Amino acid sequence: MPAFQDLQLRSSREIPAVPHSPERAPSRIHSVLLALMAVLALSSCTTSAWMVAEQPVADPDSERVLSETTFFHPVITPTSQNPVLSMELVTERALLYNMHLVSERHIQQYRPRYGYMALGLSGMAMGLYLSNSSVIDADRLSGRERAMLNIASLSIGAASYLTMKPKGEARPAGEQRLLQEIGTRVFQDTIPVRPPANNQALLTITRGTETLVDERPLPFSDNTVSMHLGKEMDIRRLPATDTTGIHVRIDYRDVGYERHLALTDFMQEFLEVTESNVPLRTSPATLSTNIIRHVGSESRFPFLSDVDDRWYRILRSDGPAYIRKEHSRRIWQVADTARIGDQVVLPDQVVFGDLEIERSLPDNRRANPDAIAVVIVNGDYRDPLQLLPNASRTARLTRRYLSQVLGFYSDNIRVFENVTASEMEQLIQESDSLMIGGRYLSENESDLFVYYYGHGLTYSDNSFFLVPVDYDPGAGNRGLIPLKDLLDAVSAMNARHTVTVLDTDWSRSSVFGHDADAGVRILTAETEAFQALMTGLPDRAAVYWAAGPGQFSGPYSGNNGRRGYPYDIFTWYFFHGLKDGLRTTGALESYLERNVTFTSRRLLDRAQDPGFAGNRNLILVPDRREGE
């Protein structure tokens, strides 16, 4: 009996009773799992990888100059509207580069595959629960077995999380590495030549056997020489029967440029009234009912056509008219000296409304009553060589499209022509005071449209300016309006959407690149500075510009004497795209990129690449049906 009792006591000491609560451990596990699942569901990750680019790049350190040629390059050719010849002194270099494959670092963002993750986390939760509860009598498992089961469960959860899905496209990080060399390539690089201070070119103009200008010094502005042909020759008018052209020669050291110009290249044919009180008529007939008005002697009008042996057809400011031959004579005259007597419309500018871009427009009037537009058009510059003869007509066209196509109320369209520096500064400083019908702009209702037509200028520090009409080229950057000030003012406006159009160029740039086979364009510091200026626009903004740094915004006419339109190429296609029903900013950008670049190459044989930055989904042309 004692032995039996002793056995019972030893058993009691060897197997003590341990209280077991199967509920507490799973409860803690559930809490941890729920927190972990929430964290994983909201998390993502990024990776980076080096990828070989499709196109090889030139090694800038391997540059070798094969040849250099210095010459005068025409940048403004004379027309009957603008008898100005402007030449740039440039050097074209053939550069040999070693070409390398290049790898670029790209960043890829990933997000979890939520279906896989939910399935994996469920398996993980089940494994952890089973290994830490009494459901499968886990108390019988050894410590090693329980650890193995926990590790397996956690591995299932981790694997489901790591099976991620790429989020969007891989983004370039801007880092490059040159790989092996694969050959060489020759690039053509055209750079301006800046003569030393006070250096001058020599201008000679002959007409037939007569020397009109004999080696007159022409000062350089940066690397450019310009001349107004009418003023240089002191020719104001010639009889219409005289058709002898002129020969222009420019010399600078061992560089020369020659060109023959017909009178039609820089003069216009006008009809001059030779008697007093001469009637202008609506038709070629002598009737008392068809008289428009009477004009005095020496009044001049653009000549249109020779109707018959008694009548000439001329052009007044408001349309065609007829005059008897016996009261008038035909003459050649320089464009800017022809505005005498009655108001004159230039002969190759048809009456406003006759061109396809000016008529038969979509009718969206009053479709956007809460929008406001600011139009700045500069054409009458102090320097006569910088006159923009199409400025007033461009202002009129812009107003018509804003009112009829874009749906702006006429009272909400503010047009400013020939604005001085102080006036432009005031416009920018007071931009936040724009009002519609006595109330300020609203970020929920009001659209803002800003259109600038005029000259632009790139300064030596790669900063960009708008040029007021009273700018003095000798004043440096004083009197210029920083482009950044205008962009910042527009971005700060309390408007729903803002669209800014810069119908200008930056052709007086200090550095520009060009490559002969229209291949890869080498970015200059100037181009990079311009792109940096246009980045960071708010999502509600869009900006268009007519040409890139170092490029000219050309007229819609040809170097071959082809009669063109009284607008610039960018102007023509910007509004033509709106007329054709392109409603969004992105659609219009694609249209401009296709047509402006191609037309400039075809007509002027030079690059002009319009640009765009900002939101491509803004609505330019409202749909009246949506408003209804």
pLDDT: which is higher, 221 or 510: 221
What tokens does 607 get? 């690059």
Could you report the per-residue pLDDT of 255-308, keeping only the tens digit for each? 999 999 998 888 888 888 888 788 889 999 888 788 888 887 778 888 889 999
- Lowest mean pLDDT across 75-89, 287-301, 412-426, 547-561: 547-561
Domain 269-337 in CATH 2.30.30.40: yes
Could you report the per-residue pLDDT of 440-478, keeping only the tens digit for each? 777 778 899 999 999 988 877 788 899 999 888 777 778
What number is the average pLDDT over the span 204-226? 90
Cα separation, 88 vs 73, in Å, equals 5
Decide if 465 contacts 457 (C-beta within 8 A). yes
Beta bridge partners of 51: 104
What per-residue confidence (pLDDT) applies to 145? 73
Q: How confident is the model at residue 501 (pLDDT cuts 50, 70, 90)?
A: very high
What tokens does 63 get? 């540059």
What number is the average pLDDT over the span 349-378? 84
Asked whether residue 510 carries a pLDDT value surpassing 70, the answer given is no
What per-residue confidence (pLDDT) applies to 356? 85
Asked whether residue 100 carries a pLDDT value surpassing 50, the answer given is yes
Give 221: exposed, middle or buried? Use CB within 10 Å, 0-12, 13-18, 19+: middle
Cα separation, 506 vs 512, in Å, equals 10
Could you report the per-residue pLDDT of 553-585, keeping only the tens digit for each? 888 875 444 456 889 999 999 999 999 989 999
Q: How confident is the model at residue 15 (pLDDT cuts 50, 70, 90)?
A: very low
pLDDT: which is higher, 502 or 511: 502
User: Please, where in the chain does CATH 3.40.50.1460 lie?
Assistant: 363-627
What number is the average pLDDT over the span 210-239? 85
Give 326: exposed, middle or buried? Use CB within 10 Å, 0-12, 13-18, 19+: exposed
Report the Cα 412 to chain-centroid distance in Å. Answer: 25
What number is the average pLDDT over the span 15-27? 47
DSSP 577-593: HHHTT--BHHHHHHHHH
- Of 374, 474, 468, which Cα lies nearest the Cα of 423? 468
Asked whether residue 7 carries a pLDDT value surpassing 70, the answer given is no
What number is the average pLDDT over the span 338-363? 61
3 state DSSP class of 622: coil
What per-residue confidence (pLDDT) applies to 366? 83
Percent helix / strand / coil, the chain, rounded to 5: 30, 35, 35
Would you give the DSSP letter of residue 282? S
* Torsion angles phi and psi, residue 305, rounded to 5: -160, 160
What tokens does 51 get? 């990828």
* Torsion angles phi and psi, residue 447, rounded to 5: -100, 145
Q: How confident is the model at residue 114 (pLDDT cuts 50, 70, 90)?
A: confident
Q: What is the CATH number of domain 363-627?
A: 3.40.50.1460
- Greatest C-alpha distance within the chain: 160
User: Please, where in the chain does CATH 2.30.30.40 lie?
Assistant: 269-337
Could you report the per-residue pLDDT of 472-493, keeping only the tens digit for each? 877 777 889 999 999 999 988 8
Contacts of 602 (CB under 8 A, 6+ apart): none
Asked whether residue 214 carries a pLDDT value surpassing 80, the answer given is yes
Contacts of 273 (CB under 8 A, 6+ apart): 295, 296, 297, 298, 299, 300, 301, 323, 327, 328, 341
What percent of the chain has pLDDT above 70? 82
Could you report the per-residue pLDDT of 328-338, keeping only the tens digit for each? 999 888 765 44
